[in-house]
Amino acid sequence: MTRATAIDALDWTAIARDLEETGVAVTGPLLAEAEARDLVALYPDKDRFRNRVVMERHGYGRGEYKYFAYPLPPPVAALRQAAYPRLAPIADLWNERLRDARRYPATLDGYLAECHAAGQVKPTPLLLKYGPDDFNCLHQDLYGDMVFPFQMVLLLSRPGVDFTGGEFTLVEQRPRVQSRAEVVPLGHLQAAIFAVRHRPARGTRGFHRVNLRHGVSRVRSGERFTAGIIFHDAR
């Protein structure tokens, strides 16, 4: 199965519904086991990355990550390319609901051309590495004014085998009520697709914005690797 076929074979009606209701949707496996292993094996390779971030140094949590350099590894590039056109219409609908005039080009190349014209030229897909007691504080992945409203994260390690704990978590902050957490059960090779900074929620007087942040709970044992696919490039 080609990457585009694997993405097209997903139930996009269910994904759109889950995103609408909770801000996150879980997919079936999107990588072969060997592809996940190969991505993890790239981690020490200096030439494949443009930057390394030690999270503790910035108050981001504990653990580290590296942003890929262009050209991205083929499975990451292909998933970014294939998922974008499925998400762009959902992004347009959400903006319409939120009375935001921005609409998204139909293809990733079209969208990246807009990012590059706005000075956001650095690749944002990344590889994250967590060991025992590492965690990722709640945050939003914003890298400039250009923000594509969805992103994905792929679980490259085997939960319960390679690591325990380390759960992907989304927290939503509604106006005037207390925050709500959604802990996302991610299986090996599966992806979570989620809203980058907010989602439209239906209220009595139409839609309003509900703010979202994501992070990872403490890894209790072992090593956990993920690949993050962010669609906007960075300044």
Ligand X SMILES: O=C(O)CCC(=O)C(=O)O
**Contacting residues toward ligand X, per CB under 6 A:** 128, 136, 141, 153, 168, 214, 216, 226, 228
**Residues between 147 and 186 that touch Fe ion (CB under 5 A):** none
Nearer to ligand X, 139 or 202 (CB): 139
Q: Supply the minimum distance, in Å, between the C-beta of residue 178 and Fe ion.
A: 23
226 binds, among Fe ion, ligand X, none (CB under 5 to 8 A by kind): ligand X
Nearer to Fe ion, 100 or 141 (CB): 141
23 binds, among ligand X, Fe ion, none (CB under 5 to 8 A by kind): none
Tokens of 26: 């879980």
Q: Supply the minimum distance, in Å, between the C-beta of residue 206 and ligand X.
A: 30
Q: Supply the minimum distance, in Å, between the C-beta of residue 36 and ligand X.
A: 14
Q: Verify binding: residue 141, Fe ion, rule CB under 5 A.
A: yes
Q: Residue 19: enclosing H or E segment and its boundaries?
A: helix 12-22
Which residue is closest to ligand X by CB? 228
Q: Supply the minimum distance, in Å, between the C-beta of residue 117 and ligand X.
A: 24
124 binds, among Fe ion, ligand X, none (CB under 5 to 8 A by kind): none
Q: Supply the minimum distance, in Å, between the C-beta of residue 202 and ligand X.
A: 27
Binding residues for Fe ion, rule: CB under 5 A, are 141
